[in-house]
Every structure is written in C-alpha cells, then in structure tokens.
Amino acid sequence: MRPSGESGPAGFRPTAKHPLAIDTDQPTRDGDFLRIENLVFGYPERTIINGVSMTFRRGAVIGLMGGSGSGKTTILKLIGGQLHPRSGRIVFDGQTVDSRDRTGLYALRRRMGMLFQFGALFTDMTVFENVAFPLREHTSLSDELIRTLVLMKLEAVGLRGAAPLRPSQMSGGMARRVALARATVLDPPLLMYDEPFAGLDPLSLGTIAALIRSLNDALGATSIMVTHDIDESLRICDYVYVLGNGGVIAGEGTPDQMRATTDPFLRQFLFGASDGPVAFHYPAEPLAEALGLASPAPPASDTRGRDVLERPR
C-alpha cells in the first residue's frame, strides 16, 4: 500500500515544512505580493523617482524597463530597503519595507533573491562556496543539507559539474548562471534581476531567460527583471513597466498590449526609432560652439550646424 501523510517514509511527509519554508500565504491584496505606492525618492541634488506606483502579482515575472539612468536599479534598491524613500511606501507581502529597521530588514532580505547589475561572484571562493554563502549566512543548516541544496541548485542551472571551479575559470554566461543559483538558493519568494543578460551572446541569453522563467515558476516566486532587452522581456514577462523621463511610469501592460501601443514614447522606446520624444542628445551647447567653430550668438534656426558641415561653394 502507498504510504501517505504522517505514516510516510521519514523526510517525505507532505505536510512537513521545508527547513527554509516561509509563510507566504497572506497576499497583501488579492494576488498582489508586492506593491509600490506613490514612491518618491531623490538625492539632495535631484529627484530620481517622482510618484511611482506598481503592483507585482504573486507568481508573475514582471519586466522593468526604461532608459539608462531612469531609476530602475534605484527602484530595486528601494524594494530591498537599501535606500529610503522621501515619501510613499513599499508593501512586501503585507509588510512595509523600512530601511531603518535593521532586524526587520535582515529577515526581509532573506526572502529576496537579488542578482546585482554588476553581479559579482566572490572571486576567492569556488562556485560551490558562492552558492552556499547565503545558506551559511542566513540559516543554521548542517553541512550535509547545505551540500544537497547547493548541488540541487547547481543542477538546476546545469553547472553541478562546475562546483569546484573558481569564477575566473568560467565564461561570463556560466558566471551568470552561478549567480542565478546563488540568488535562488534560499528559495526566496521574490527574485530581483538587474540586467541579467548584459554582455551575453544570444544563446547564453536565451538560456538565462528560460532559467529565470522556469526558476520563478518552479519556486512559485515573483520575479522582477530589469533589462534593456525588449524582445526577451516581452517574450518571458507577464507584465511590463516602462520608466520614462522625470522618474514617472511612461507605460505599462502585458506584452501584447505593449506591442500594440500607439503611444509615441513607448513606440520609440520599444521599437527603437532614433528620433521621437526621447532626445538622442543630452542638453548641451551647439557642437560648433563647443568646438570654437562658430560665433556664440545663436542663429534663429539650425543653420549653424549646416555652416560647419557644408563648405561654401
């Protein structure tokens, strides 16, 4: 007869709690796992995020896009409590993120896996030790259990055989997969990826993208993916937010809604027209003036550029 429940073989009781299990069964609102409400953040000299609201449904992979410097990494840091908002709040599974509450933050971070933008592995540690690091830091599991968990995570990213290697002995794509294994080793309910595809060839990029989706679904997690890769983002995400100029949301929607958008800013951003609402040039004095090739008095039209480029006949 098939054993069931408490009478099952030791270690295989379906009701037994996983040693790393976290109670995530209390959604903040129906299905919302993470919520950002009217967030404002800035440095003394400049406001970066200027009234942003977003919701992140449990189980979804959400893309966060926007031009360089639009505040994507800043938003991830605010979610992780590394930065403190001027106003507004972030509610993570019913709990307001408070960067001043060190104890609360430590517990919260245990439930967030983060792949950093310049996602460095510890170069003086092996692949195995890199992935084991969060377990040693946040749990008191036995070495044997740690070994099992690390090997399982490395297996999931196809790199169990690379466990004894050092980061310097791996390609960039392999290192990124190890970083993925490390970010997910605590089975966190929230995963944040900052530019997970940067510098990868198309094949490695596809592998990482597929892993992000499958790890999310296998863990029943919620993932936020910051990326400049629009095709990949629209392929694997359930929902996308685009940050625009001035620290506000320029658009949001499902991949299908994004593809069908008629908004000029979004069309330029998503489909790469070089001209449009987003200026190519950062504001500056005219080039000719900067190079000392023309008189400083501004002309009524843009004839100055032509003066320089077209030689008098």
Q: Which residues bind ligand ATP (CB under 6 A)?
A: 43, 48, 66, 68-74, 117
Judged by CB, which is closer to ligand ATP: 189, or 196? 196
Closest CA to 63 of 282, 280, 212: 212
Q: CB 246 → ligand ATP: shortest distance, Å?
A: 12
Nearer to Mg ion, 55 or 73 (CB): 73
H-helix or E-strand containing 240? strand 239-243
> Residue 140 binds which entry of ligand ATP, Mg ion, none, with Cβ cut-offs from 5 to 8 Å by kind?
none
Q: Which is nearer to ligand ATP, 56 or 128 (CB)?
A: 56
DSSP state, residue 29: B
Residue 43 binding: pick among Mg ion, ligand ATP, none (C-beta 5-8 Å cut-off by kind): ligand ATP
Beta carbon of residue 71, minimum distance to Mg ion (angstroms, whole number): 8
Nearer to Mg ion, 67 or 253 (CB): 67
CB of 298 vs ligand ATP, minimal distance in Å: 28
Neighbouring C-beta atoms of residue 118, cutoff 10 Å: 8
**From ligand ATP, Mg ion, none, which one binds at residue 251 (CB under 5 to 8 Å depending on kind)?**
none
What's the order of all strands across the beta sheet hosting 95-96? 46-57, 32-43, 87-92, 95-96
Q: Which does 55 bind (CB under 5 to 8 A by kind): ligand ATP, Mg ion, none?
A: none
The residue ranges that bind Mg ion (CB under 5 A) are 73, 117
Indicate the residue among 29 and 84 with the shorter CB distance to ligand ATP: 84
Closest approach, Cβ 306 to ligand ATP, in A, equals 33
- The entry of Mg ion, ligand ATP, none that residue 71 binds, CB within 5 to 8 Å by partner kind: ligand ATP
Nearest to 77 by CA among 243, 192, 176: 192
In angstroms, give the least distance from the CB of 243 to ligand ATP. 7
Three-point CA angle 226, 102, 42, nearest 5°: 50
Q: Tell me the two tokens of residue 121.
A: 């592995």
Residue with smaller CB distance to Mg ion, 41 or 128: 41
Query: Which entry of ligand ATP, Mg ion, none binds 118, CB below 5 to 8 A by partner kind?
Result: none
Classify each residue of 282-303 as buried b or exposed e, where b means 16 or more C-beta atoms within 10 Å of its C-beta.
eeeebebbeeeebeeeeeeeee
Nearest alpha-carbon partner for 63 in 245, 199, 251: 251
Please count the other Cβ atoms lying within 10 Å of the Cβ belonging to residue 242.
25
